[in-house]
Amino acid sequence: MNRQRNQSVSELDPSKWVERHGDVLYRYALARLRDPEAAEEVVQETFVSALRAVDQYSGQGAEGAWLLGILKRKVVDHVRRLSRFDAAAGGEADADPSEAMFDAKGNWRADAGFRKRRPEASLEREEFWEAFRKCLQGLPQKQADVFALREVDGLNSEEICNGLRISASNLWVLLHRARLRLTRCMQSHDED
Amino acid sequence: MLRCREISKLVSESMERKLSFREWLVLRMHLAMCGLCNGFAKQVRFLRTAARRNSQRLADGQTDSDVKLSPEARARIEAALRDSAK
């Protein structure tokens, strides 16, 4: 049988991991953590954990995707270790954008206007990603953390709550604030 | 009746959990007549699409292809892998 082919479909080859997946995983970790040292550490933890878990690899899906799944969980662990979510770390005083976006009655302020629709086509434009990155980076830290874990990494509420040891309602409040801010921020870039 | 402020919260939570029938109904009825909340709901869904695409681009190595593990980091990680394989 074709050994080469078999290998790519269902077998892992740890001796080639760093060569094959190291850079892509590092790039992902760096984009997420914006700290080269932390990104290297997370990539190393990913490979070491993966090596211990080779028995659990189902053979379904590509080796790279499997490793990326492990990396995302290492990213959650890393975010928890930064202790931003500890009760002692305190809140972010100006983190709730509601006052700026709703009037006293709870209606959208006049300038909220979500008139322009974002066509999917804008995803192909480099300026869109530039604005998206800027808006993400402009979020208060905790909101940026949970938004990225939820929407970029695609982890579910449960995985994030367990990983960060926060309650679901806490997570949902942070996600909602992040979404309010991001819609406003993307809106302002729209008008440029 | 719920105001846009609470409705926007429901929009967000509908991305996280299954709303109760009552909540779902209130949300549907409000969205049917409120252009601004409707716009917000569309934006929230669009943000998810955009974020997933962003992740996909990263995972496919489409962005920052000049960013690479340094030779030192690579050697360190190779060594850690060999160590834990023992």
Report the topology of domain A3-81: Rna Polymerase Sigma Factor; Chain: A (1.10.1740)
ipTM of this complex prediction, to 2 decimal places: 0.88
Please state which architecture CATH assigns to domain A92-190: Orthogonal Bundle (1.10)
Query: Could you give the C-alpha distances from A65 to A49, A62, A68, A173, B55, in angstroms and in order?
Result: 15, 5, 5, 30, 12
Q: Answer whether A29's CB lies under 8 Å from A71's CB.
A: yes
Q: What is the pLDDT of residue A94?
A: 55
Does the pLDDT of residue A34 top 90, yes or no?
no
Residues of chain A in contact with residue B67, where contact means CB-CB under 8 angstroms, are 23, 26-27, 30
CB contact under 8 A, B77 and A18: yes
- Structural domain span for residue B25: 4-85
Q: What is the pLDDT of residue A93?
A: 58
Question: What is the least distance, in Å, from the CA of B22 to any CA of chain A?
Answer: 19
Q: What is the pLDDT of residue B57?
A: 83
Residue with the two structure tokens 């716009």: B39
A interface mutation test: which of B8, B30, B48, B83 has the most A CBs within 10 A? B8
Average per-residue pLDDT for chain A: 85
Q: What is the pLDDT of residue A35?
A: 92
- Token pair recorded at residue A9: 């479909």
Half-sphere exposure of B23 (CA within 13 A, CB side): 13
For chain A, domain boundaries:
3-81, 92-190
Q: What is the pLDDT of residue A118?
A: 59
Q: Report the number of distinct structural domains present in chain B.
A: 1
- Residues B39-55 pLDDT 10s: 999 999 999 999 999 88
Q: How many residues does chain B have?
A: 86
| % of chain A residues with pLDDT over 90 | 52
DSSP A102: B
More confident residue, B61 or B77: B77
Residues of chain A in contact with residue B50, where contact means CB-CB under 8 angstroms, are 123, 128, 132
Rounded to whole angstroms, how far apart are CA atoms A127 and A162? 36
Rounded to whole angstroms, how far apart are CA atoms B54 and A46? 21
Q: Answer whether A40's CB lies under 8 Å from B71's CB.
A: no
Q: What is the pLDDT of residue A2?
A: 43
Query: Could you give the C-alpha distances from A110 to A25, A53, A113, B35, B74, in angstroms and in order?
Result: 44, 54, 7, 12, 53
Q: What is the pLDDT of residue A176?
A: 96
- Residues A64-112 pLDDT 10s: 889 999 999 999 999 998 877 777 666 665 588 998 899 999 999 977 7
Strand partners, A102: A108
Rounded to whole angstroms, how far apart are CA atoms B9 and A173? 8
Give the A window 157-186 contacts with B, CB below 8 Å: 157, 168, 171-172, 175-176, 179-180, 182-183, 186
Q: Quick one: closest CA in B to A149, which residue? A: B51
| % of chain A residues with pLDDT over 70 | 85
Average per-residue pLDDT for chain B: 91
